[in-house]
Amino acid sequence: MNDFITNYNQDGDRRRNPNLQDTHESSGYANDEIEVYDDLPPRHKPHMHVEKDRRFWEAGMRLEIPEFHGSLQPEEFLDWLAVVEEILEFKGVPEEKRAQLVATRFRNRATAWWQQTKLMRNRVGKAKISSWEKMKKHLRTTFLPYNFQRVIYQRLQNLKQRRRSVDDYTMEFYQPLARNEIQETEEQLVSRYIGGLRI
């Protein structure tokens, strides 16, 4: 960047603008951090400090991974898992750090389970659980009933609108889908949904 901020005078000559210099210095930014282009129309001025503004905005979002106490309620566990996934993605946490970060939010029964799991794996010579995908698999195995998927399928199979409004029926239809990895095509789900509606 130039050593000083310039603009055009009425004759078209470049000259130093002391007013801009004072404003610039009082803003707290160093000369190499910002550029001002007074000779460009507003729509052509470059976006300045976009990355800095983004970091400032993210820093203002006090998002924390919620604690997990080892609940035996499947819906509560799956809701927690979904929130964790969203926060990890939003914060851009590297894959190799995700499992360690999530483990810091375990409490009570979940803490006891995690410590026991690490101890048992160490005793039998198994590698540490270092990936988030592997941790999720172990979490699901421990905190979801063994027949949970079958129960969800049965619930969808038997779900009927009856006296519910369409909105209530739709919400009850999609809740188990949002919380589980149900392997059905879109056509199958649409057919299942329509089959539960009142004639």
| pLDDT in the model for residue 49 | 53
Identify which of 153, 73, 151, 189 has the alpha carbon closest to the alpha carbon of residue 81.
73
Q: Are residues 82 and 130 in the same domain?
A: yes
Largest CA distance in the chain: 83
Q: Are residues 132 and 168 in the same domain?
A: no
Q: Are residues 48 and 88 in the same domain?
A: no
Phi, psi of 68 (to 5 degrees): -125, 120
Q: Per the domain annotation, does 189 fall within a domain?
A: yes
| pLDDT in the model for residue 104 | 95
Side-chain-side CA neighbours of 41 within 13 Å: the count stands at: 2
Please check whether residue 152 is in contact with residue 182, taking contact to mean a CB–CB distance below 8 angstroms.
yes
Q: Per the domain annotation, does 185 fall within a domain?
A: yes
Identify which of 44, 14, 20 has the alpha carbon closest to the alpha carbon of residue 34.
20
Q: Are residues 157 and 138 in the same domain?
A: no
List of residues 6+ apart from 38 with CB closer than 8 A: 5, 6, 7, 8, 17, 20
| pLDDT in the model for residue 136 | 93
- The Cα 155–Cα 152 span in angstroms is 5
- The Cα 69–Cα 84 span in angstroms is 14
**What residue ranges of the chain have pLDDT lower than 70?**
1-62, 179-181
Please check whether residue 14 is in contact with residue 6, taking contact to mean a CB–CB distance below 8 angstroms.
yes
Query: Which domain, by its residues, includes 48?
Result: 6-60
- Does this model's pTM top 0.75? My answer is no
| pLDDT in the model for residue 13 | 47
Q: Are residues 32 and 92 in the same domain?
A: no
Q: Per the domain annotation, does 155 fall within a domain?
A: yes
Q: Per the domain annotation, does 101 fall within a domain?
A: yes
| pLDDT in the model for residue 177 | 78
Q: Are residues 55 and 94 in the same domain?
A: no
Q: Per the domain annotation, does 1 fall within a domain?
A: no
Q: What are 88-110's pLDDT values in tens digits?
A: 999 899 999 999 999 999 999 99
Please check whether residue 177 is in contact with residue 189, taking contact to mean a CB–CB distance below 8 angstroms.
yes
Domains in the chain, number: 3
Phi, psi of 107 (to 5 degrees): -140, 155
